[in-house]
Amino acid sequence: MAEVTSRCVGPIILMGPPGAGKGTQAKLIAERYGIPQISTGDLLREHVCKGTSLGLQAKEIMARGQLVPDELLYGMVAERLREADCDPGFILDGFPRTPGQAGWLDEFLKHELFDKSNPGKCLPIVVQIDVDYNDLLSRLTGRRSCPACGTIYNVHLQPPRVDELCDLDGSKLVTRNDDREEVIRERLQTYEKLTRPVIDYYGRQGRVALVNGALPVDQVSEQIFHEIERHGC
């Protein structure tokens, strides 16, 4: 069982292209600091599975590898961030992804989450996970995940002990609908066009910590933990 560090760490925003390891690292940060991972991709996939109105609107857009319009996300994200488990901090995995979303998040945090007498106290730390384009392709085409517990594997790089079965609960692993080569290319282009400016936005505020995501998972985590500890709250 991994060590849990129990203290307020504030919001952590994980940025990086599709396949950079945001989901993998978010789970490890969540385990270490006892704070929730909030993945807008996972939340949207849940809506798609349940066939909600949001899910119906998002389904085709996600299958094409494009971004769901900003206004469709705000209610979903706000509702999740207002849950009590987010009070000591949370990890945003896949949000914000456009300058509009980043501006919305700043306003949300200012008005709803920060201690109003000291609004700078818990500014988010933005961790940018950097990985080469070719590595991203092999990570995404090889990704499998457990539909029951969410554990992420990779058939080339981090295979399960038994082919196609989750190490933790034995469920049959699944491939994401958008991990097809033509869709992956679209997702990577969308990232460069719409999400890269968000990193620039945070960069101008001096908030971005760059980590080398090409290293093994545990070494990437070490860099992230170091940045979180350095940032404090």
| Catalytic sites, residue numbers | 22, 97, 143, 176, 187
Q: Which is nearer to ligand AP5, 99 or 142 (CB)?
A: 142
Total residues interacting with ligand AP5, rule: CB under 6 A: 37
Tokens 């349940």: give the residue. 50
Q: Which is nearer to ligand AP5, 22 or 231 (CB)?
A: 22
Residue 94 touching ligand AP5 (CB under 6 A): yes
Residues 6+ away with beta carbon under 8 Å from 85? 35, 36
Closest approach of Cβ 7 to ligand AP5, in Å? 25
| Contact positions with ligand AP5 (CB under 6 A) in 171-230 | 178, 187, 213, 216-217, 220
5 alpha carbon, distance to own chain's centre: 20
> In Å, how far are 45, 68, 109 from 228, measured between CA atoms?
28, 29, 18
Q: Which is nearer to ligand AP5, 8 or 149 (CB)?
A: 149
AA identity, residue 119: P
Residue 9 touching ligand AP5 (CB under 6 A): no
Q: Which stretch binds ligand AP5 (CB under 6 A): 118-126, 150-158, 164-172, 223-231?
A: 150-158
Residues 6+ away with beta carbon under 8 Å from 101? 70, 73, 95, 198
The CB-nearest residue to ligand AP5 is 41
From the list 12, 15, 20, 211, which residue makes contact with ligand AP5 (rule: CB under 6 A)?
Answer: 20
CB 44 within 8 A of CB 68: yes
Pairing mode, if any, of strands 10-15 and 89-93? parallel
Q: Which residues bind ligand AP5 (CB under 6 A)?
A: 16, 18-24, 39-41, 44, 61-62, 65-68, 73, 94-95, 97, 101, 139, 142-143, 152-154, 157-158, 178, 187, 213, 216-217, 220
